[in-house]
Amino acid sequence: MSNGQPRLEDEVHKIAPKQLNGESPWQHVVSEEEMIIYQRAGFGNSFKGDIRPALLVIDVQYRSMGHANLPILESIETEYPTSCGQYGWRAVPHIARLIHAFRERQLPVLFPHVAFKENHDGQRFADKVPAAMSISRQGYEMIKECAPLEGDILVPKHHASAFFGTPLVSYLTTKNINCVVITGTTTSGCVRASAVDASSYGYRVIVPHDAVYDRSQTSHAVNLFDMNSKYADVMSTDDALKLAPLASIQPIE
């Protein structure tokens, strides 16, 4: 090229190994050329520095996965139109591990969750997804494998972001938190909206890709890629638990 820059197709072998070793959940969706474009533009750097983390468990309720581990279409047809079926249940063990680890280390665990929707709560989201207004109260219960315990903080919400119209920032400020580890659903909806707002408020954001879920696996992958590029560090639950500050940070009183 006249400007001395190599062609994109000549840079495929230079992509960071973590993007090509089969571990990235977006590899089957985002092309090598697009990954090179983002890399050349300087996106996707990892955050640095010590962290004082809190765990957000977003919308891990029966309405988001059903009461039984069923294929998604069967779960939608037999229980809740908002269900992610087996994709939600696949994330449950990873979410439960993170909850256990945070409690064991006396770190804050917060449960932003969809509050029961009265008729006046639908607003614009109900215009797009009217079926969301038909969920029974039983569907709003937290699943038992990831249910809150005494000492955990419940944060009812009426919109996608865990921050919008809630006291979440006040809780995090009181606990002297500078990092949120986001789990739950959906990757493209409430998880992403919360990650963007958390980044906007100045928090470091970690998204364990196997501890979040979505009804669309394409949307799941693309949004993980985009969050990793701009707003968050996306990694596995194993890698999140290996973060040295997460293991060694002093308990927050």
Query: In angstroms, what is the C-alpha Rg of the chain?
Result: 19
Based on the fold, state whether residues 235 and 119 are members of the same structural domain: yes
Same domain for 35 and 63, yes or no, is no
The closest alpha carbon to 56, from 159, 167, 184, 161, belongs to: 184
Q: Could you tell me if 112 and 175 lie in one domain?
A: yes
What angle is formed at CA 213 by the lines to CA 56 and CA 107, rounded to 5 degrees? Answer: 20
Residues 182 and 101 occupy one common structural domain: yes
Domain assignment of residue 8, given as a range:
1-43
Q: What is the rounded CA–CA span in Å between residue 4 and residue 204?
A: 36
- The percent helix, strand, coil of the chain (3-state, each to 5) is 45, 15, 40
Closest CA to 112 of 178, 190, 49, 42: 190
Return the residue matching tokens 């890698």: 239
Global pTM exceeds 0.75:
yes
What is the domain-level CATH number for residue 54? 3.40.50.850
Q: Flag whether 253 is in a domain.
A: no
Pair 193, 131 in one domain: yes
Residue with token string 């949004």:
223
Residue 149's Cβ-count burial label (10 Å; 0-12, 13-18, 19+) is exposed
Tens digit of each residue's pLDDT, the chain (253 residues): 445 555 544 544 444 434 434 468 998 999 999 999 999 999 999 988 889 999 999 999 999 999 999 999 999 999 988 899 999 999 999 999 999 999 999 999 999 999 765 554 545 555 665 565 557 778 799 999 999 999 999 999 999 999 999 999 999 999 999 999 999 999 999 999 999 999 999 999 999 999 999 999 999 999 999 999 999 999 999 999 988 566 555 444 4
What are the beta bridge partners of residue 205?
180
Q: Which residues contact 107 (CB under 8 A, 6 or more apart)?
A: 53, 54, 55, 246, 249, 251, 252
